[in-house]
Amino acid sequence: MTVAAVIMMKDPAEAKSRLRPVLANDAREGLALLLFDNTLAFLTARHQGPIGVVTRSPVVAQRAAVQGATVISEPEAGDLNAAAGLAAAWAAGIGADALLVLHADIPTLVESEIMALLAAGVRAPVVIAQSRDGGTNALLVSPPDAIAFHFGRQSAEAHEAAAKAAGLGVEVLALAHLSRDIDRPEDLAEAIRLPAQDDGVTLLVIPGIGEIEAGDDLAALIADTAEAAGMEIAPDDIVVVAQKIVSKAEGRLVPLADFVPSEQAERLAEEIGKDVRKVEAILSESTGVIRARRQPPDGLLITRHRHGWICANAGIDESNLGAGREGMLLLLPDDPDASARKIREGLETRYGGPIGVVVSDTFGRPWRNGLVNVAIGVAGVPVLVDWTTRTDAYGRGLKATLPAFADEVAAAAGLLMAKDAGLPVVVLRGLDWKDDEAASARHVLRPVEQELFL
């Protein structure tokens, strides 16, 4: 039996409208595309029959074509049932025996559930994978136009009634993953909980933080947004907050035009090919230049930030600043440890303690390609953990083992802080950590006289 599989995908800019309370427009669009890509990649890797995508979005159509799927164009914005009708006509036209309609908002797809769906199709011409709210997340019909489509609220019941009215056998399946989609804020909050398999540590993204303005109370905003998404921060949690929203809340957005180039800035700008005003901004935040050279895209300038960090461009950023903020530069917080302490104080006042806070930023690494999130500010969270008094798994003494705990926490949170997702706050729950009131992110800095790479 030839089964044609179809994904129905609306314009990503119009998708996920029910997530407006918790996700900004660009984040909703990015989420919709991420889920679509995941669904298409799953079918491309595992489905043996033809694959089609019904859409009127040029972006979606291009992605579908690159993966070898047939693009079924919607002539105009229509509802899901009109799109399903186009899918059925396409499947019938290519001689498929059955049509599998799969929604593009299911966060986890597993082959065993699709196999269960196809196996049920041998027994019944209509098979419904019911969502938890009574909708239809996947529908298998044989032949492709066997019934009229009834996607929408309580569509599982409507599809079952349509099959019975046509005198066709029907099976309704409640499958663990296929029953879960991302449509409402509570669905998103549930989907982004990632429990680790071995130690019970859980990572929770707080969705819906939105754009940050100077003067915003981040602790209150984080707590209010978490509760709006059906989440609550608890004692012993560690809250990782992206530096970008901390800097915005502290008014660290500065117009590029405010920086008046010095002679040193002019020399460096000429040498490496970078905007002289940006060079002056970098120098104003730095205590020394480590490396400078001309290379794409606009010159390399690595400095020692006045906080001690060695990083590109003194950590100054121009991406994800928000609408209407062109020509602005975002500087690191004046005192990231103090920023973390302020957020911690607000959260502990609301929830009790201890609650750890890490302010994270994305840095490159010497000798290694790629970026990783590191801690640039902490409150309560131990920065380094001394294992020199411990033994390894075989009883051998550990002489120089000093895990950078706060950096490891920041890096773990970075897995969920996608640059295009608008998710700047992650909660880690279940970690074994001891509150360190004296902790400072600067404790991770190696003394200059011990630095062998400079």
Averages of pLDDT over runs of 10 residues in the chain (454 residues) are: 93 80 80 90 91 94 94 82 94 96 88 89 94 92 95 92 95 88 77 50 87 94 89 91 96 93 94 93 93 90 92 86 81 96 95 93 87 95 77 56 89 84 88 91 84 68
Whether residue 199 is found in the same domain as residue 275 = no
Closest CA to 312 of 264, 363, 267: 363
* Paired tokens of 268: 């460096």
* Final residue in a domain of this structure, among 124, 145, 173: 173
Whether residue 37 is found in the same domain as residue 163 = yes
For the chain, the domain total comes to 3
Task: For residues 265 and 282, give the distance between their C-alpha atoms in angstroms, rounded to a whole number.
Answer: 9
Residue 39, judged by CB atoms within 10 A of its CB (0-12, 13-18, 19+), counts as buried
Question: Which range of residues forms the domain containing residue 218?
Answer: 192-252+333-454
Which amino acid is it at 161?
Answer: A
Whether residue 217 is found in the same domain as residue 338 = yes
Whether residue 34 is found in the same domain as residue 52 = yes
Residue that has been written with the tokens 């302490």 in this structure: 341
Residue 372: inside a domain: yes
Whether residue 248 is found in the same domain as residue 129 = no
What's this model's pTM, rounded to 2 decimal places? 0.58
Whether residue 296 is found in the same domain as residue 394 = no
Residue 184: inside a domain: no
Whether residue 348 is found in the same domain as residue 429 = yes
The torsion angles phi and psi of 240, rounded to 5 degrees, stand at: -100, 125
Residue 420: inside a domain: yes
Contact 136, 129 (CB under 8 A): yes
Q: What's the CATH code of the domain at 285? A: 3.90.1660.10
Q: At what angle do helices 218-228 and 336-351 cross, to 10 degrees?
A: 50
Whether residue 291 is found in the same domain as residue 338 = no
Residue 179: inside a domain: no
Per-residue confidence (pLDDT) for residue 194, from 0 to 100: 42
* Final residue in a domain of this structure, among 108, 139, 173: 173
Residue that has been written with the tokens 């989907």 in this structure: 191
Per-residue confidence (pLDDT) for residue 450, from 0 to 100: 72
Per-residue confidence (pLDDT) for residue 395, from 0 to 100: 58
Whether residue 233 is found in the same domain as residue 359 = yes
Per-residue confidence (pLDDT) for residue 120, from 0 to 100: 92
Closest CA to 102 of 178, 202, 192, 209: 178
Question: Would the CA dihedral through 160, 165, 96, 37 be positive or negative?
Answer: negative
* Final residue in a domain of this structure, among 284, 302, 332: 332
